[in-house]
């Protein structure tokens, strides 16, 4: 067995090589994680047979749970996307909240919409609404945009069934019901401070109008909204249907967790709730209902629905593979004994595991950019430590949200989201750093503060 000092060196070098491969050589994260896992196994003296067995255990154990959830969630979100569900939700909330409270409406809409719909897709769908609001009021686009972006970032990073928290929960071994609960508890104050409050402040410092190239699109949308028979609104699904279908899987999964806590094992109701609240069943029910309500009833043919759902699995496949490779990396750390060494080191230095999880995720995020890759990698380093501590299920979920908070910090030039926001808001690099980057950092620290506070009581 390799010495403790060598195991620590291997762990540090493993992360360094991973970052080098992803950042400098632009190697796909899936391949990079696989390569580094091989190197770690060889470096600590594992036999080829043990390395292969560890690969199979890490990949199989992770994907057995996550592949089904991400696949179903992707199809559910894509159908909601093409049917206009996101626009309906945003427009209705803006109408109910009124113009003065529109940043709050956009922040909440961002959280809800980004649960089933990927962040970049949600931004593309909703950006015309921001253009229309800016055109009507002549306020800085950031006044409306930052709250929406804060909501999208919070849900993308903290609320299942989005891929990042699903991946982290799978690797760490946390119950999804608790993850959803703590994700919402941490996410809402994070959205409020980083969204309406910071948005109001930064919009007074940086005035951004509708980008020149997008003005025709903004004018067209405004005309549709102001007409007596607005076709844009008329064709959209109902608000009740949209909000119900988005919240359905969350309610079902939470019912599983609550039934497990409150009802006796032989109770029939408990057994029913545990079954339909399992993520597999909850998302299968939701996806089937979505296909019917937002697909068949909206006039889509069977061929159209098959094409839409197949397209949805393309980005899901990449996320699934990256997550599986992260599971392999985590299992390699456990099998090599590195996890035990890290746990002992933490005990000696008296660093709480919550702080270790946040710092690890934040450093990886700042270094390589991707939220999902940061969460997968950080979770793989945190997971071996959980076996050493006697952690409750709520505490395991807190670790997931802590990792999620660290993984949202300081989005900058190595993150594709940075350039997407820069382009759609017509901002230069300095303006994007002062607005988008600071917003994502506020989300991270508020989320971490809430997790740290809750960890004192669970």
Burial of 24 (0-12, 13-18, 19+ CB in 10 A): exposed
CA dist 20 and 9 (Å) reads 16
Q: Cβ neighbours of residue 343 under 8 Å, at least 6 residues apart?
A: 384, 385, 387, 388, 389
How confident is the chain (458 residues) per 10-residue block, as mean pLDDT?
73 83 83 90 90 89 83 88 89 90 95 88 88 90 97 93 88 92 96 97 95 64 47 69 93 90 85 92 94 90 90 82 82 77 71 91 84 86 81 94 95 86 91 96 98 93
pLDDT for the residue numbered 233: 42
- Model pTM score: 0.85
Distance from C-alpha of 331 to C-alpha of 288, rounded to nearest angstrom: 34
Q: What DSSP line would sit under 371-419, residue for residue? A: HHHHHHHHHHHHHHHHTTS---HHHHHHHHHHHHHHHTS---TTSHHHH
CB distance 305 to 296 below 8 Å? yes
pLDDT of 215: 64
> What's the pLDDT score for residue 347?
65
């Amino acid at each position: 067995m390799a010495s403790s000092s060598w195991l620590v060196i291997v762990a540090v070098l493993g992360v360094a090589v991973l970052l080098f491969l992803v950042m400098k050589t632009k190697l796909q994260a899936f391949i990079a994680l696989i390569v580094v896992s091989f190197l770690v196994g060889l470096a600590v003296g594992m036999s080829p047979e043990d390395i292969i067995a560890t690969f199979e255990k890490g990949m199989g154990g992770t994907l057995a749970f996550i592949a089904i959830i991400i696949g179903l969630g992707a199809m559910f979100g894509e159908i909601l996307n093409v049917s206009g569900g996101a626009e309906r939700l945003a427009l209705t909330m803006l109408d109910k909240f009124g113009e003065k409270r529109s940043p709050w409406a956009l922040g909440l809409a961002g959280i809800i919409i980004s649960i089933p719909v990927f962040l970049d897709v949600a931004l593309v769908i909703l950006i015309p609404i921001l253009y229309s609001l800016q055109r009507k009021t002549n306020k800085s686009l950031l006044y409306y945009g930052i709250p929406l972006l804060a909501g999208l970032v919070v849900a993308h990073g903290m609320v299942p069934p989005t891929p990042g928290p699903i991946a982290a929960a799978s690797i760490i071994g946390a119950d999804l019901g608790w993850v959803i609960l703590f994700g919402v508890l941490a996410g809402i104050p994070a959205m409020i401070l980083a969204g309406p409050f910071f948005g109001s402040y930064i919009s007074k410092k940086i005035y951004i109008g509708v980008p020149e190239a997008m003005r025709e699109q903004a004018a067209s949308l405004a005309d549709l909204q102001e007409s007596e028979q607005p076709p844009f609104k008329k064709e959209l699904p109902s608000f009740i249907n949209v909000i119900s279908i988005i919240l359905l899987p969350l309610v079902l999964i939470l019912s599983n967790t609550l039934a497990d806590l409150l009802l006796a094992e032989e109770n029939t109701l408990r057994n029913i709730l545990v079954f339909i609240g399992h993520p597999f069943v909850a998302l299968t029910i939701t996806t089937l209902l979505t296909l019917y309500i937002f697909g068949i009833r909206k006039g889509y043919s069977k061929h159209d629905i098959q094409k839409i759902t197949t397209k949805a699995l393309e980005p899901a496949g990449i996320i699934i593979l990256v997550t599986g490779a992260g599971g392999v990396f985590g299992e390699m750390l456990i099998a090599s004994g590195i996890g035990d060494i890290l746990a002992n080191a933490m005990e000696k230095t008296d660093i709480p595991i919550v702080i270790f999880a946040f710092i690890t995720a934040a450093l990886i995020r700042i270094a390589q950019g991707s939220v999902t890759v940061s969460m997968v990698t950080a979770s793989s380093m945190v997971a071996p430590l959980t076996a050493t501590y006697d952690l409750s299920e709520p505490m395991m979920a807190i670790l997931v949200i802590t990792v999620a908070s660290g993984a949202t910090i300081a989005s900058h030039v190595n993150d594709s989201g940075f350039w997407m926001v820069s382009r759609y808001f017509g901002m230069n690099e300095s303006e994007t750093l002062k607005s988008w980057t600071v917003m994502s950092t506020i989300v991270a620290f508020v989320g971490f503060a809430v997790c740290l506070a809750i960890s004192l009581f669970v």
